[in-house]
A and B are shown apart, each in its own frame.
Chain A
Amino acid sequence: TQLLEQSPQFLSIQEGENLTVYCNSSSVFSSLQWYRQEPGEGPVLLVTVVTGGEVKKLKRLTFQFGDARKDSSLHITAAQPGDTGLYLCAGAPGGSYIPTFGRGTSLIVHP
Chain B
Amino acid sequence: DAGVIQSPRHEVTEMGQEVTLRCKPISGHDYLFWYRQTMMRGLELLIYFNNNVPIDDSGMPEDRFSAKMPNASFSTLKIQPSEPRDSAVYFCASRQGQSYEQYFGPGTRLTVT
Mark A residues whose CB is within 8 Å of B: 2, 31, 33, 40-45, 48, 88, 92, 97-104
Within 8 A of A (CB), among B13-50: 41-45, 48
Q: Is the CB of A88 within 8 A of B100?
A: no
Partner of B100, one of A41, A92, A100, A102: A92
Which chain B residues have a beta carbon within 8 Å of chain A's beta carbons? 4, 41-45, 48, 56, 91, 93, 98-107
Say what secondary structure dominates the interface of chain A. Answer: loop
A residues in contact with B44, CB < 8 Å:
101
The answer to whether B106 touches A97 (Cβ under 8 A) is no
Residues of A within 8 A of B91 (CB): 42-43
Q: Which residues of A contact B4 (CB under 8 A)?
A: 42
- Chain A to chain B: the 10 pairs with minimum beta-carbon distance, closest first: A42-B104, A103-B42, A101-B43, A48-B100, A97-B98, A43-B104, A45-B101, A42-B91, A31-B100, A42-B105
**Distance A48 CA – B102 CA, assembled complex (angstroms):** 11
